[in-house]
Structure 1
Amino acid sequence: MTEYDYEELGLVAGLEIHQQLDTATKLFCDSPTVRREPEEATRTFTRYLHPTRSELGEIDDAALEESRVDREFEYLAYDTTCLVEEDDEPPAKLDAEALDVVMQISELMEMSVVDQAHVMRKIVVDGSNTSGFQRSSLIAQDGEIQTSEGAVGIEDLMLEEESAQRIEERDDGVLYSLDRLGIPLVEIGTKPDISSPEQAREAAETIGMLLRSTGKVKRGLGTIRQDVNVSIADGARVEMKGVQSLDDIDDIVRNEVGRQVELLAIRDELQQRDAHVGEPQDVTDVFADSDSGVIRGALDSGGKVTGVRLAGFDGLVGRELQPDRRLGTELSDHAKRHGAGGIFHTDELPAYGVTEEEVDALREAVGAEPEDAVAIVAADSQTADLAIDAAAVRAEAAIEGVPEETRGANDDGTTRYLRPLPGAARMYPETDVPPVEPDPSEVEVPELLTEKVERYQSEFGLDAGLAEQVAYGRRMPLFERAVDDGADPTFVAGLVESTVTELRRDDVPVENLDDEQLLAVVALVTDGDLAKEGVNEVLALLAENPQLSAEEAVEEAGLSGVSEDEVRDAVVEVVERNESQVENEGMAAFSGLMGEAMGALRGRADGEIVSSVLREEIQKRA
């Protein structure tokens, strides 16, 4: 991957972090925020959405483009789905618990909370919200975080409702699930103060740490998403949406810088060639006898082939912008938005069953010169016309340079076109939800995770690695509850980080273990009713049989605690059975006999007690 001089290129970047809050209920109704499986759905319903004018009397460009694709949206509803989520009832007041959490976050980022928070509607017609808009409210502004490359300003903090989850793309629409819709979501936007890929990642990591410090954010895949805004001098602001992993952020920034650098080089070449884009036209006759599977399939279904002359584009449509993505890929992304499978272009033909003779006939049909390229789309009549128009518009933009747009993050660190950048025309006031007056004076500022790590080392004696694992782990609240109840910190830390991981590796379904079960097992150990050596067996039994209580699991495993007299009797039996070894080796026999004694007690006795009694019995005979 090429490494650029980002200062020389004038890199400017900013982040938008979206994090689900772990509240009891959703933002505007009393439905729980627990996620569901699609097969649990009890019913479905459909919607068709269209854009509306904002209070400015304008229609947002992004919403307008989305509406040009005619789609039906189907929603999976559950026994917990309410009328607010279905957009059949006005929303309730802003959730108080969610408001408290975002005020904690604002305090951690030294932000100023607004005097009055008003809920706004943000037009969204991609089906991710049944109402056709997302409700959002500005809560705080003007904060700051620190990175090793300098301070990064925090522009604003929004509290909004999470979108529905996309389950399946269909030819005529999209299937969504409503279990996620309405979960409180905090959106944190930085100022464009980021000047390197590494700083972008560090800033995201810092914000993530602050969010988790509240103990009130959801964990797991999809609960946090990062959007990255990038531009370079002479380029344009481009928003990359849906970066799932922090590990991808620096690659996303690097690849976008590279894409803009290449697009600017293509622009310069196109302008030098006096490039222009012709009018799209029907070129079906050229391919009447084609053996290309894609083209043949379209024509046999009553479709057609449309083409457009790209004057001066020869050799540039196939130029790589990002790994395995070319200018032709960008044209194809735009065509796909209108239902086409993609485009063919002459920089890659003959190929895909298209012959050299057909390429020559195509170039002649559109009047292409040797320095020109041609792009074609094969699809049904309406799709072919819309798709080739979209590809032509994107080609025209290439002559100007880098278009402002919203792009989606791919798993490999590259991005794809989604839609134009949204503007102010997508926002207008929500008339169903009254404004609230946030009061940050009563907000308790949480302990930072970095501070917890230091405290766990100094107060509980945990080593640095284990302290960090526990503090940043999802079971940190359980650890603190158990220690507050008198449990040994080292034992509990090992349980939540090492023991559970070991069981997972042994294919034990540890996801069935809830915090209350783990706390109950810890309490049994603390009270001497279960030896530490029996914990793994009890947890495995609970994971396989979640209906059992911890006490029942101990009983069923035959691990009920034994008295010290019973321990001594078992140890004496082992020692006497190995009397000659004890006489000959003395304390050197300890290791071998310890394993035998623990086996005889089957994990029912604490190892330290067994060890102490065994030493006594050996010393008597030695």
Structure 2
Amino acid sequence: MDLNYKELGLKVGLEIHQQLNTKRKLFCHCPTKLCDDVEKEVFRILKPTLSEMGEIDRAALLELRKGKKFLYQYSSKSACLVELDEEPPHLPSEEALRVALEVALLMNMKTVDLAYTMRKIVIDGSNTSGFQRTIFLAYDGFIEIDGKKVGIESLCLEEDAARKVEDREDVVVYNLDRLGIPLVEISTSPDIDSPKMAKETAKRIGQILRATGKVKRGIGTIRQDINISIKDGARVEIKGVSELDLIEKVVKNEVLRQLNLIEISKELKNRNAKVIEEIYDITELFKDCKSKIIQNAIKNGGRVKAIILKGFAGLVGKEIQPGRRLGTEFSDRAKIISGVGGIFHTDELPKYGITEEDVKKLREFLNVDKEDCIVIVADKEKKVDKALKAVIDRAKEAIEGVPEETRRALEDGNTSYLRPLPGAARMYPETDIPPIKIDKELLEDIKNNLPELPEEKIERFKKEYKLNDELAKKMVFSYYVDLFEDLCKKFRDIKPTLIAKTLEESLKEIRREGYNIDNLKDEHFYMIFESLSKGKLAKEGIVEVLKGFCEYPNKDIDEILELKGLKGLSQEEVEKIIEEIIKENIEVVKEKKEKALGMLMGRCMAKLRGKADGKLVNEILREKIKEFING
């Protein structure tokens, strides 16, 4: 569906969360590396507190209603008493402060004179204290996207959350290794007016962050949250878009969802639709139902209950995003709040073992019309009641239009309900950390030492390393850009183009073949190019050696060369093999003379690829053919 986003009044704002690659965590001296070791466990229950406004945040109240408990696993290698909330926080990392200020200046932002630390209430268990510490550092900046300015409203330096390990029925397990790693939170103004522009804005911010050379790379180190609204819709926050290429799809699908919800709302109002708040117990009616879910619930002492949605028939089953319906939204809400596996509704029945006869009996029992929809839940009674109350709330919102809420990004570009949109009631001052004076001399020093921006680095790579425009761009935006420059400086006898192609094209090639390039470390590349520099490896063998390191990351280069049959040959050995190939093809050489070079070169390289440099093979072969021709 082609949509006119300008006419729809689309407004998009981004929140970018990027981990910083600092030596220590933000409020303690633990390293910023993940560690799966578990030495001890701590059990906690969290409750929300009043904000400085004297209110409890609605998102925190929802977490409280879930009734979850939290188990924290940790190792002394990656966490201390600060993460456990048993010791006050230390003063913030000076390194993290400097990096955050550098990012702010690269985005034309104004910095504060005094930086105050605030507590942001979070009781989903991702922080042992029930709040996240965040420092407001800069405001009122901008970046340019295709000639248009996008405002940067704020930049905060904050601690990352604990890493979720497992979600059991009533206990969530977290590892404390990630808790406290510094990250910058960058919020844009709602100046973005198309899905494409949203992606380009996130891309540009990512480029600026990487230009510092002080951000972590890899899965989970950068997260994009997207705030989206359209005319007659509502502001919806979508959390956790981890892939840049997914941003466009998420924005498009959310616009489509809001448009469909607006249409459903209009139709419900036309029908004078109403949500009946009474919950009806239909366990006896469904005791002989063939549905496995219902039978399992009854067998385990649970109940089957239902609610009536007057005038909702045909609309609960209406698709609002690809593969997702209004009924899916009801189900999401029920699952999040009560923990049930899902719901049934009459727009999708008969199905799942529930027959047409079952539906007919249910309609007669509840005395409902065909224009009405019935929602059914089967589980433990307490969970059933919670689930149906959640559906009642969501159905009322459906009549009104698009609810303001926080949603979770899904891998297919759709979204699902996460929690209510948080308000101002989630913040209050941090009393353990004094205000931090932002020194003018520090800012001046940062200004005088700002890193190259990507467009500047591309031009330098073309000039200094003689890369073509395409390869220079690939390299500047590559995960391996710093390694590329280090390798070029260390191995000046190797062409930078070969190093760049190895880090970009060769790695893509072997990944397509199914090799796990995550096993490759910087030291593997140093070993490869050192062997190349010393003549132990020919450039034609690089790809095979990379594959070898993917398979055996703990072996050294000599072992890999042995395994792959790529031990470098002396010039005498190369000459001997070439002479044998000429003898085997002597009739062709007699007939074609110098023109036999191409065919013979192919046969030589079939035997010598990776064992001898192609240029050397060509020179020797050409000389040997001349010797034969000259008698």
TM-score (norm 1): 0.91
Shift in alpha-carbon separation, 1:589–1:442, aligned structure 2, 3 A: same
Following TM superposition, by how much is the alpha carbon of 1:150 offset from its aligned partner in structure 2, in angstroms?
A: 2.5
Alignment partner of 1:442 is 2:445 = yes
CA distance in 2 between counterparts of 1:176 and 1:98 reads 24
Alignment partner of 1:376 is 2:376 = yes
Q: Please tell me the residue identity of whatever aligns with 2:329.
A: E
Q: Secondary structure at the match of 2:186?
A: strand
Q: Secondary structure at the match of 2:73?
A: strand
Alignment partner of 1:240 is 2:249 = no
Q: Please tell me the residue identity of whatever aligns with 1:383.
A: K
Shift in alpha-carbon separation, 1:536–1:355, aligned structure 2, 3 A: closer
Q: Please tell me the residue identity of whatever aligns with 2:254.
A: E
Alignment partner of 1:31 is 2:30 = yes
Following TM superposition, by how much is the alpha carbon of 1:391 offset from its aligned partner in structure 2, in angstroms?
A: 0.9
Shift in alpha-carbon separation, 1:94–1:310, aligned structure 2, 3 A: same
CA distance in 2 between counterparts of 1:471 and 1:346 reads 55
Following TM superposition, by how much is the alpha carbon of 1:237 offset from its aligned partner in structure 2, in angstroms?
A: 0.7
Shift in alpha-carbon separation, 1:283–1:503, aligned structure 2, 3 A: closer
CA distance in 1 between counterparts of 2:573 and 2:299 reads 85
CA distance in 1 between counterparts of 2:350 and 2:168 reads 31
**Higher mean displacement: 269-278 or 420-429:** 269-278
- Segments of 5+ residues of structure 1 without an aligned counterpart are none
2:496 corresponding residue in structure 1: 489
CA distance in 1 between counterparts of 2:251 and 2:609 reads 56
Following TM superposition, by how much is the alpha carbon of 1:379 offset from its aligned partner in structure 2, in angstroms?
A: 1.9
Shift in alpha-carbon separation, 1:437–1:582, aligned structure 2, 3 A: farther
Question: What does residue range 36-47 of structure 1 map to in structure 2 within 5 Å?
Answer: 36-37=35-36, 40-47=37-44
1:400 corresponding residue in structure 2: 400
Q: 1:116 aligns with which of 108, 114, 117?
A: 114
Deviations along 1:312-337, one digit per CA (max 9) or x if unpaired, are 32332222222222222222222112
CA distance in 2 between counterparts of 1:339 and 1:572 reads 76
Q: Secondary structure at the match of 2:114?
A: coil
Alignment partner of 1:609 is 2:616 = yes
Alignment partner of 1:81 is 2:78 = yes
**Higher mean displacement: 217-226 or 352-361:** 352-361
Question: What does residue range 100-115 of structure 1 map to in structure 2 within 5 Å?
Answer: 100-115=98-113
Q: Please tell me the residue identity of whatever aligns with 1:484.
A: K
Alignment partner of 1:469 is 2:466 = no
1:460 corresponding residue in structure 2: 465
CA distance in 2 between counterparts of 1:556 and 1:267 reads 67
Following TM superposition, by how much is the alpha carbon of 1:103 offset from its aligned partner in structure 2, in angstroms?
A: 2.1
CA distance in 1 between counterparts of 2:609 and 2:380 reads 72
Q: Please tell me the residue identity of whatever aligns with 1:454.
A: E
2:416 corresponding residue in structure 1: 416
- Segments of 5+ residues of structure 2 without an aligned counterpart are none
CA distance in 2 between counterparts of 1:599 and 1:253 reads 51
Q: Please tell me the residue identity of whatever aligns with 2:496.
A: P
**Higher mean displacement: 610-619 or 49-58:** 610-619
Shift in alpha-carbon separation, 1:522–1:169, aligned structure 2, 3 A: same
CA distance in 1 between counterparts of 2:580 and 2:314 reads 87
Shift in alpha-carbon separation, 1:507–1:329, aligned structure 2, 3 A: closer
Q: Please tell me the residue identity of whatever aligns with 1:440.
A: L
Shift in alpha-carbon separation, 1:572–1:347, aligned structure 2, 3 A: closer
2:180 corresponding residue in structure 1: 182
Q: 1:49 aligns with which of 29, 46, 56?
A: 46
CA distance in 1 between counterparts of 2:609 and 2:359 reads 79
* Matched positions, count: 619
Shift in alpha-carbon separation, 1:534–1:388, aligned structure 2, 3 A: closer
**Higher mean displacement: 587-596 or 456-465:** 587-596
Deviations along 1:387-440, one digit per CA (max 9) or x if unpaired, are 111111111122222111111112222111111100111111222333333433
2:388 corresponding residue in structure 1: 388
Shift in alpha-carbon separation, 1:574–1:20, aligned structure 2, 3 A: same
Shift in alpha-carbon separation, 1:330–1:552, aligned structure 2, 3 A: closer
Q: Please tell me the residue identity of whatever aligns with 1:30.
A: H
Q: Please tell me the residue identity of whatever aligns with 1:137.
A: I
Q: Is the 8 A contact 1:308 1:366 kept in 2?
A: no
Shift in alpha-carbon separation, 1:503–1:364, aligned structure 2, 3 A: closer
CA distance in 1 between counterparts of 2:262 and 2:546 reads 59
Q: Secondary structure at the match of 2:113?
A: coil
Shift in alpha-carbon separation, 1:73–1:618, aligned structure 2, 3 A: same
**Higher mean displacement: 193-202 or 527-536:** 527-536
Deviations along 1:573-611, one digit per CA (max 9) or x if unpaired, are 766786676555432233344456667767454332343
Q: Please tell me the residue identity of whatever aligns with 1:449.
A: P
1:429 corresponding residue in structure 2: 429
Say what the alpha-carbon RMSD is for the aligned residues.
Answer: 2.9
1:265 corresponding residue in structure 2: 263
Q: Please tell me the residue identity of whatever aligns with 2:455.
A: T
Shift in alpha-carbon separation, 1:248–1:521, aligned structure 2, 3 A: closer
Shift in alpha-carbon separation, 1:11–1:539, aligned structure 2, 3 A: closer
Alignment partner of 1:13 is 2:12 = yes
Shift in alpha-carbon separation, 1:526–1:116, aligned structure 2, 3 A: farther
1:339 corresponding residue in structure 2: 339
Deviations along 1:192-226, one digit per CA (max 9) or x if unpaired, are 11112222122122222222222322223222221
Q: Is the 8 A contact 1:76 1:177 kept in 2?
A: yes
CA distance in 2 between counterparts of 1:78 and 1:152 reads 43
Q: Is the 8 A contact 1:568 1:613 kept in 2?
A: yes
Q: Is the 8 A contact 2:32 2:78 kept in 1?
A: no
Deviations along 1:19-67, one digit per CA (max 9) or x if unpaired, are 2222333222333333345xx4344333221111122221100001111
2:595 corresponding residue in structure 1: 588
Q: Please tell me the residue identity of whatever aligns with 2:28.
A: C
Q: Is the 8 A contact 2:236 2:405 kept in 1?
A: yes
Question: What does residue range 193-592 of structure 1 map to in structure 2 within 5 Å?
Answer: 193-284=191-282, 285-336=284-335, 337-438=337-438, 439-443=442-446, 444-485=449-490, 486=492, 487-505=494-512, 510-528=517-535, 530-550=537-557, 582=589, 584-592=591-599
Q: Is the 8 A contact 2:79 2:176 kept in 1?
A: no
Q: Please tell me the residue identity of whatever aligns with 1:236.
A: A
Q: Please tell me the residue identity of whatever aligns with 1:313.
A: F
Q: Secondary structure at the match of 2:285?
A: helix
Q: Is the 8 A contact 2:35 2:77 kept in 1?
A: no
Q: Secondary structure at the match of 1:287?
A: coil
